[in-house]
Amino acid sequence: MPRYFEDIEIGETWISEPVVLSEEEIIRYARENDPQPIHTDPEKAAQSRFGSIIASGWQIAALSMRLFIQSGGYGDTPVVGMGIDELRWRKPVRPGDSLHVIREIVDTQRSRSNPKYGIIRTKVAVRNQHGEEVMTMISIGQVPAREHQSSS
């Protein structure tokens, strides 16, 4: 069942199931999307300041979206991504790390330019098995509104 802008409340929170990233997954993603040696070459990565292969931050951002959708997200409601604010990669993600995502609605606002839609701001935190934040961001999305207000 679709949810509309009017159904979404500040404070709503989703927590995903944990996912463990393997070295193979990290290398495969990086070869296709972020081919730096710290992500693709175990020998060179071992000589880096990180001491081993680490996941691309872009892989963690994409993973956060996948886990949100898998945890139910907005259900059948079509959400159009409008942007990201305050994206921060806080700690390296290493092979074998178990990650989960916590998303919380922090702001809702009806679109001024098109009142058929609402704008949703969501705080996203990806945490590892130690509870440490490895990535944070504010996701901005647009969802349909059930009732649009006239701009009289």
Quick one: which of 147, 151, 145, 149 has its CA closest to 77? 145
Give average pLDDT by consecutive 10-residue segment, the chain, 152 residues.
89 95 98 98 97 98 90 77 96 98 96 94 97 98 80 47
Class in CATH terms, 5-144: alpha beta
Q: What is the pTM of this model?
A: 0.90
d(CA 38, CA 33): 13
d(CA 99, CA 112): 37
pLDDT at 148: 62
